[in-house]
């Protein structure tokens, strides 16, 4: 089905993409905040973020705040487009119009 | 996440459930018609129907029309409720309100 995206469809990744898509274009969220929204373990969130990063849908930036490592995540323009296409495909399915 | 249903979320099963949900309560669709809507192979459709039947979400009725075997599929009340809950969960995710 056109626009339907199996990578994005997976529950945790769909929720990650939706959370990032709710931010203004280019805005970042830190790993800890994202984890508290998605409510998964560090390892689980990390694994799904890697898949989304490998697909070019998100950008992951690692930095330090003082001595503490911090990870920031943002949607890429490609990620935003893929998410929007997937949501459009989902809406078509849900509406029973396909 | 409440109402989110991993069994129903799978792409082909989501499309089957949406197609059945578009029918009036209790109405059946025949296997061939459903296959032409979902656009998958006989084997693939059969495997997904079995999972939905095992979960109690659909009812499968086999009969003969003349000498030809026919299979009819309908959503059960439990299936309709589970689908509606899943769609509500999806809409919450998509709207970024979770």
Report ipTM (2 d.p.): 0.85
Q: Do A93 and B4 touch (CB under 8 A)?
A: no
A28: tokens are 């970042």
Q: Which of B34, B37, B69, B67 is nearest to B49 (CA)?
A: B34
> Would you call B12 an interface residue with chain A, using a CB distance cutoff of 8 Å?
no
Task: Quick: pLDDT tens for A19-78.
Answer: 999 999 989 999 999 999 999 999 999 999 999 999 999 999 999 999 999 999 999 999
Residue A29 β-bridge partners: A73
* Number of alpha carbons in the 13 Å side-chain half-sphere of residue B39: 4
> Would you call B1 an interface residue with chain A, using a CB distance cutoff of 8 Å?
yes
CA–CA gap between residue B11 and residue A61 (Å, rounded): 32
In this prediction the pTM is: 0.90
C-alpha distances in Å from residue A3, one per residue of A7, A8, A70, B61, B62: 11, 11, 34, 34, 35
Task: Quick: pLDDT tens for A3-24.
Answer: 999 999 999 999 999 999 999 9
Pick the CATH number of B6-94 from 1.10.10.10, 3.40.50.300, 3.40.190.10, 1.10.1660.10: 1.10.10.10
Nearest by CB to residue B87, choosing from A9, A14, A94, is A94
């Amino acid at each position: 089905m056109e626009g339907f995206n199996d990578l994005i469809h997976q529950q945790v990744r769909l929720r990650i993409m939706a959370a990032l898509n709710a931010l203004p274009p280019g805005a970042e969220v830190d790993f800890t905040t994202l984890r508290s929204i998605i409510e998964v373990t560090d390892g689980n969130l990390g694994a799904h973020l890697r898949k989304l990063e490998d697909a070019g849908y998100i950008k992951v930036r690692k930095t330090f705040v003082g001595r503490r490592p911090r990870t920031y995540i943002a949607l890429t323009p490609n990620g935003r487009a893929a998410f929007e296409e997937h949501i459009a495909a989902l809406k078509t399915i849900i509406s029973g119009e396909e």
